[in-house]
Amino acid sequence: MSSPEQNPQDDVSVVVTGLGLVTAAGAGVSESYAMLRRGKSALSPLRLFDPDPYSLEIAGEVQTIPRDPEEDRAFQLLDLATTQVMEASGWGESQRGESTGVVLGTCQGAIEGASNIHRRYAARPIPHTTSSDRRSFAEYRPGHGTARVAKEIGATGPTSTVGMVCVSSSVALMHAVDLIKCGEARRVLAGGFEAFTQFVLTGFHCIGALAAGPLKPFDADRDGTVLGEGAVLMTLEREDDARARGATILARIAGCGIAADAFHMTAPDPKGGGLERAVRQAFDEAGLGPEDIDYISAHGTGTVFNDGMESVAFSRIFADVDERGRMPPVTGVKSVFGHTLGAAGALDAAMAILAMRDGVFTPTVAHTTPIEGLESWDFNPDNVRSAPDVRCILSTNSAFGGNNSALIIQRVDDA
């Protein structure tokens, strides 16, 4: 709750104290992170339905979790991640109530259930409502995922559901930080979720954004993205609260930036203007600059337009440090997990946090030949390598419609 008398608390530090992950690599933080560290891809031939009409070879389907006919896939993944993050964070009775919020991002929410409803209700007369329909009617709204998690963890504070396609979950993390800094909440569970569905696959097929083979971030031969599914959640809280309860602090969210291209409905600003503004806004908030970044976790969808735009933006932002031969390594994880859309931003950030915790650079799997002009950049294509001095990571995402986000993630040394 806010009133004009409450001022933003800029000095409030917000930290990450727990992670929950479900990805194509499996249900669990260690499964996903281990796959990335090994430099292996979790993408595999699609089992959900016949991929031939889409000329699809692989996808980031969570095959270790069987589909539950009684539950929408999106919520199935979300519930698993919720259980994990609550165990990891140590949140309990003291963290329930109105000082706890939930902010989630998604692209299409429970669209699978919605599709089933549309199949049935396109008929005339309107069919008799079944119990399954009633549940689907109630649950297919994207906001239901947020409400479901709030109920599960006993949160009655501020909530919101962000529908910003590929930047959904990174914007959700930013809103969570804002809510904590403004004093609206002491802690927020935030992240994103997305299920692999025919609806989304058909859409990406129609717009010609799918790769014929592997997803190749920042590669000269990249030809599109590979879709994935997953749920990624984080517990964010005030650093003083986390320390007081003796929580494990994984990282600090030191800066956030969000900016629109205001350029074109489908094409990104080729100059990367929106992304550059988002990054500079995050720098300003963190009180840091390009020279402080040790590692860039890029969106890296493998599409010609996105990776090209990101490259241009990074070239400008890091021009000075690049000239001095100190361009930070650039990595992307989508070649391992697929593009998880509404969960992508939180997944990128989660992997960056774990890599920083362990003092490593994770590899950019399937990257072989850099985009022309970027030959000097370090995309770390091969194996995980030691990087004990990593203290500050920039994680970026961009979306259709020209939306861009940037997070500055910082190591907390004495945590």
Q: Which 134-153 residues touch another protein, going by CB under 8 A? A: 134, 137-138, 141-144, 146-147, 150-151
Given the rule CB under 8 A, which of 170-178, 234-242, 308-316, 346-354 is the region that contacts another protein? 170-178
Residues within window 207-236 making contact with another protein, judged by CB under 8 A: 207-208
Given the rule CB under 8 A, which of 166-174, 235-243, 324-332, 349-357 is the region that contacts another protein? 166-174
- Give whichever of 84 and 281 is closer to another protein, judged by the CB atom: 281
C-alpha 87/C-alpha 105 separation (Å) is 21
Residue 98 within binding range of another protein, rule CB under 8 A:
yes
Residue 396 within binding range of another protein, rule CB under 8 A:
no
Residue 270 within binding range of another protein, rule CB under 8 A:
no
What is the smallest separation between the CB atom of 74 and another protein, expressed in angstroms?
A: 12
Residue 130 within binding range of another protein, rule CB under 8 A:
no
Q: Which of 41, 160, 225, 380 binds another protein (CB under 8 A)?
A: 160
- Cβ within 8 Å of residue 179, ≥6 positions away: 101, 103, 157, 158, 185, 188
The dihedral of CA 295, 331, 206, 271: what is its sign? positive
The three-point CA angle 304-307-312 to 5° equals 115
Size of the site for another protein (CB under 8 A): 88
Residues within window 26-65 making contact with another protein, judged by CB under 8 A: 49-50, 52-53
Residue 374 within binding range of another protein, rule CB under 8 A:
no
Q: Which of 276, 341, 247, 292 is nearest to 14 (CA)?
A: 247
Q: Which of 60, 214, 268, 274 binds another protein (CB under 8 A)?
A: 274
Q: Which of 11, 93, 131, 206 binds another protein (CB under 8 A)?
A: 206
Pairing mode of beta strands 360-361, 295-297: unpaired
Residues within window 242-261 making contact with another protein, judged by CB under 8 A: 258-261
Residue 129 within binding range of another protein, rule CB under 8 A:
yes
C-alpha 218/C-alpha 412 separation (Å) is 30
Q: Which of 33, 75, 196, 204 binds another protein (CB under 8 A)?
A: 204
C-alpha 235/C-alpha 33 separation (Å) is 18
Q: Which of 30, 40, 264, 319 binds another protein (CB under 8 A)?
A: 264
- Cβ within 8 Å of residue 30, ≥6 positions away: none
Three-state secondary-structure class, residue 386: strand
The two structure tokens encoding residue 39: 């430099």
Three-state secondary-structure class, residue 315: helix
Q: Which of 58, 78, 86, 171 binds another protein (CB under 8 A)?
A: 171
Are 101 and 185 spatial neighbours (Cβ–Cβ below 8 Å)?
Answer: yes
